Amino acid sequence: MENNVVVITGGTSGIGRALCNRYIAAGYQVTIASRSEQILQKVQADIKSQGHDVFTVKTDVRIDEDCKNLVDAVVEKFGRIDIFINNAGITWYESDEGGINIEKHKEVIDTNLFGTVQCTKYALPHLLKSKGSLVGVCSIAGEVGLPNRSAYSASKFAMNGFLSSLRVQYINKGLHVLITYAGYTSTNIRKKVKKDHNSNDFPPGYGESINEISMMSAEQTAMYIFNGIKKRKRSVRPTSIGKLTVWLNKFLPKLNDKLAARYYN
């Protein structure tokens, strides 16, 4: 696999870092992107201390020029892209008393949707050339509306539609598109939004019924994504509760609304 090149946005922590480790172990040429140069350098040093190497590119996926620079830098260094994983993402919890926050909607959509669109725009010609894999780390929130997460759900529904459309558009050109509908995963994404939130009612772990022990680890989620790419699947839903939520939403939507309001609150 020494000639296979994978790019992972949001690759310094959580699912992205777990994917980075897994692809390094599999012998791929790995590039990770993040907004923080300092964190990129730290991760790179950690990986080097373990006897491996990783290429890093400072990238804010909200900025079109950064996305172009990421792809250009990877192609200049390795000559190709075989897998591009759109993993960078943020979330926001909308408290009932705070209501809909337009600024946060724009911030979440700029990152989760347009970050994916812009990176894909530049990576796509190279993926078509290699008949590679375009991957989106989406969410169950991209299939089922979740309470107090209208910004996040809107961005992930749109991401889902964007990638699904590209799958059909390029179905006869060898492009593989995998959408990962991740469920609750133990990462820093929730901890960061909790830290930034000023509501006393913000539920820890997105609900008292959820805790770090019951969540899937980033490493487990990365394993599902890695195998999904390897098998060129259309989609993966790593968590059992996520699979159940989608099934109920399809066949018993009214019941699912009530359960989602309770479980995901």
Q: How many CB atoms lie within 10 A of CB 253?
A: 10
Task: Find all residues with CB under 8 Å of 252, minimum gap 6, and list them.
Answer: none
What whole-number distance in Å separates Cα of residue 213 and Cα of residue 171?
40
Burial class (CB in 10 A: 0-12, 13-18, 19+), 180: buried
Q: Give me the active site residues, please.
A: 152
b or e along 58-73 (b: 16 or more beta carbons within 10 Å of the residue's beta carbon)? bbbbbebebbbbbbeb
